[in-house]
Amino acid sequence: MKGNVRKIAIFGATSAMARGAARRFASEKAEFVLVARSAEKLDAVKADLLAFGAARAETVLCDLSDVAAQAAALDAVWNALGEVDAVLVAYGSLPDQKACEADTALAMREFANNGSSAIALCNEIGKRLEAQGRGCLAVISSVAADRGRESNYLYGSAKAALATFVDGMAVRLSKKGIRVIDVKPGLVSSPMTAHLKQGPLFASSDKVGAGIAKAIADGKTEGTLYLPGIWALIMFVVRHVPYFVFKKTRF
């Protein structure tokens, strides 16, 4: 099923969700270029994918919040793979909302990491896919993009910027035969959320990763994708709850 996706680039490849997706393609002997900012973590992920059967896994070290540094990483990817079948942009960070309220510089750094730097990256990836004339781009934003919550609205606003950008790009590139997917995961167990109490709504990063892989491989999904699917319903409600009610919920 995933046999037509052979060459894959992952930005933020040390993400647990990204690894969940990548394993599905690794089992089908895909080739990878893995981009992230920690060499030790990259090595661990590379070993994992090779164990799962990846034909090849190269690593590229890059702090993706540094927009100026992205070009070199992009070159490294395309040089290594030639044409790329699928790109996954998975990096992100969940900041301490309270700390962001107190420290505007921190807030802006976090906004850049989750929002503007990812927009810059996607813009460049879009150009390269357009030049190839084919391929699929999946970008992980979040359900947090859908409404500002007291507990994480800095993060949410950055993801909202990213999600809106990706949605628009999806429409534009769809006409050129390129699929762009805005992945909105709900609550997912991963290192990012390990410190939170894991209620019944939490899905495993492996399962959500599998959902991302499936969407990339199916040859038709584009636009917004909630994962697990139940979040489409939950967020429909959350978006439509009037403010005076929303204010009182702990959601």
Partner 1 sequence: MTVCSWGKYPKVEAAAVQHLAWRHEKIDFDPATSFLAHGMGRSYGDSCLNEGGTLLMTRGLDRFVSFDPETGDLRVEAGVTLEEILRFALPRGYFLPASPGTCHVTVGGAIANDVHGKNHHVAGTFGCVTDEFTLLRSSGEILRCSRTENAGLFRATIGGLGLTGLILDAKIRLRRVRGPFLNVKTIQFGSLREFLQLSKELGTKYEYSVSWVDGTAHGAQLGRGLFMAGNHSDLTVEERKEPFVPKLVFPCEAPEWLLNRATIRAFNELYWRKTVGRAVEGVQHYVPFFYPLDAIENWNRMYGKRGFFQYQCVLPFGDGEEACAELLRRISAYGKGTFLSVLKTFGDVESPGMLSFPRKGITLALDFANEGKETLDFLSMLDGVVAEAGGALYPAKDARMDEAMFARSCPRLAEFVKYKDPLFSSSLWRRLGEPNFGKGA
Ligand X SMILES: NC(=O)c1ccc[n+]([C@@H]2O[C@H](COP(=O)([O-])OP(=O)(O)OC[C@H]3O[C@@H](n4cnc5c(N)ncnc54)[C@H](OP(=O)(O)O)[C@@H]3O)[C@@H](O)[C@H]2O)c1
Interface residues toward ligand X, by CB under 6 A: 12, 14-17, 36-38, 41, 63-65, 90-93, 113, 140, 142, 185, 187-188, 190-193, 205
> Which span (38-46, 72-80, 83-91, 231-239) binds partner 1, by CB under 8 A?
38-46
Nearer of residues 1 and 233 to ligand X, judged by Cβ: 233
Burial 88-110 (b: 16+ CB within 10 A, else e): bbbbbebbebeebeeeeeebebb
Are 193 and 94 in contact, with CB atoms under 8 Å apart? yes
What is the phi-psi region of residue 67: left when phi exceeds 0, alpha when psi lies from -120 to 50, beta otherwise? alpha
- For 181, the token pair is 């997917």
Residue 19 binds partner 1, judged by CB under 8 A: yes
- For 156, the token pair is 């949410």
Minimum CB–partner distance for residue 229 and ligand X (Å): 14
Of the residues 30, 45, 77, 144, which one makes contact with partner 1 according to CB under 8 A: 45
Residue 47 binds partner 1, judged by CB under 8 A: yes
| Measured distance CA(83)–CA(61) in Å, rounded | 20
Are 162 and 117 in contact, with CB atoms under 8 Å apart? no
**Residue 67 touches which member of partner 1, ligand X, none, C-beta under 5-8 Å by kind:** none
Nearer of residues 20 and 156 to partner 1, judged by Cβ: 20
| Measured distance CA(110)–CA(154) in Å, rounded | 8
Residue 56 binds partner 1, judged by CB under 8 A: no
**Residue 195 touches which member of partner 1, ligand X, none, C-beta under 5-8 Å by kind:** partner 1
**Residue 230 touches which member of partner 1, ligand X, none, C-beta under 5-8 Å by kind:** none
| Measured distance CA(133)–CA(135) in Å, rounded | 7
Binding residues for partner 1, per CB under 8 A?
16, 19, 27, 40-41, 44-45, 47-48, 50-52, 191, 194-195
